[in-house]
Amino acid sequence: MLRDITIGQYYREESVIHRLDPRVKLAGTFIYIILLFIFDNIWGYALATLAFAVVVKASRIPLKFILKGLRPILFLLLLTVFFNMFFVTGTHVILQYGIIRITWEGLKSAAFMGIRLILLILGSSLMTYTTTPNHLTDGLEKGLNWMNKFKVPIHEIAMMMSIALRFIPILLEETDIIMKAQSARGVDFEHGRVWTRAKNMVPILVPLFISAFRRANDLARAMEARCYRGGEGRTKMKPLVYARRDRAAYLLVVVYIALLIAGDRTLAYFL
């Protein structure tokens, strides 16, 4: 029932992208997203799409699987495109019918918005597909270590994140079992009015909350029994160390930025 949810899903595969240091992937994705907003012209999007295609190819994840990640935002995507198409005002009218008015500017804005949104989602989901949650939080912790100086408890935040991520599949499975158990007691989740369906959530939510608290309690005790006392002085079994391929990846990011700026200037010069 709930197996289809793919938040933060990891796709197991052997590839260069999978082996990259998580800090590189985090920084790369962050920069990629920011640049999507800065260079919002045809050159920017073309290069961004090309870069995305290259990374997908290198990651060896089937494109079909990656595109599946768009399904949850399909509605939002269509809505955005729709509003941009009809409500962006412009001077070059292509089609006018009553109050409906489609302009060249509106179409352009709709297309750009759509592409930007798609690349935004796919780019960030590519990061989670190629990085295990544990690796991701490790990268976050080490990459943002400097924030400790400003009294930001970065280790604690990273630990909370990794625990939260770890709990998602467990709680999903638990929900599945509880739903089945209550179905066995005659609850019908598929039919009925909105009110009855809402009421049917109680026999799921109460046991789910209790189990979440129980698990949290168990985990806290287990951590204490292993003498966990926060991040200070804590060492790692497998510390993150940059390898050659990570430096090469950083270099590629710099090249990407340079290409974007160069293309943007050239474009500005000619127009």
Partner 1 sequence: MSIVLDKVSHIYDLGTANERFALKDISLQIKDGEFIGLIGHTGSGKSTLVQHLNGLLKANYGTVYYNGEDIYAKDYSMKKLRQKVGLVFQYPEHQLFETTVIKDVKFGPKNMGLPQLEVDMRAFEALKQVGIGDDLLDASPFELSGGQRRRVAIAGILAMQPEVLILDEPTAGLDPKGREEILEQIARLHKERNITIILVSHSMEDVAKYAQRLLVMNRGRVVLDGAPQDIFPHYEEIEKIGLAAPQITYVMQSLKEAGLPVDTSITDLEQAVENICRYTKNVN
Residues forming the site for partner 1 (CB under 8 A): 3, 177-178, 180-188, 202-203, 206-207, 210-211
- Alpha-carbon span 256 to 44, nearest angstrom: 10
**Of residues 117, 110, 65, the one with CA closest to residue 87:** 110
Structure tokens at 1: 């029932």
In whole angstroms, the minimum distance from the beta carbon of 213 to partner 1 comes to 11
Contact 128, 9 (CB under 8 A): yes
Instruction: Select 190 or 232, whichever has its Cβ closest to partner 1.
Output: 190
Residue 33, classified by CB atoms within 10 Å of its CB into exposed (0-12), middle (13-18) or buried (19+), is middle
In whole angstroms, the minimum distance from the beta carbon of 207 to partner 1 comes to 5
- Alpha-carbon span 146 to 142, nearest angstrom: 8
In whole angstroms, the minimum distance from the beta carbon of 6 to partner 1 comes to 11
Instruction: Select 192 or 230, whichever has its Cβ closest to partner 1.
Output: 192
In whole angstroms, the minimum distance from the beta carbon of 201 to partner 1 comes to 11
Contacts 24+ apart (CB under 8 A), 197-206: 203/178, 204/175, 204/178, 204/179
In whole angstroms, the minimum distance from the beta carbon of 214 to partner 1 comes to 8
Distances in Å between the Cα of 73 and the Cα atoms of 10, 21, 68, 114, 214 are: 19, 29, 10, 11, 34
Instruction: Select 93 or 205, whichever has its Cβ closest to partner 1.
Output: 205
Instruction: Select 9 or 148, whichever has its Cβ closest to partner 1.
Output: 9
- Residue 35: CB atoms within 10 A of its CB come to 19
In whole angstroms, the minimum distance from the beta carbon of 219 to partner 1 comes to 17
Instruction: Select 4 or 232, whichever has its Cβ closest to partner 1.
Output: 4
Residue type, 240: L
In whole angstroms, the minimum distance from the beta carbon of 203 to partner 1 comes to 5
Instruction: Select 120 or 172, whichever has its Cβ closest to partner 1.
Output: 172
Contact 1, 179 (CB under 8 A): yes
Instruction: Select 205 or 268, whichever has its Cβ closest to partner 1.
Output: 205
Residue 77, classified by CB atoms within 10 Å of its CB into exposed (0-12), middle (13-18) or buried (19+), is middle
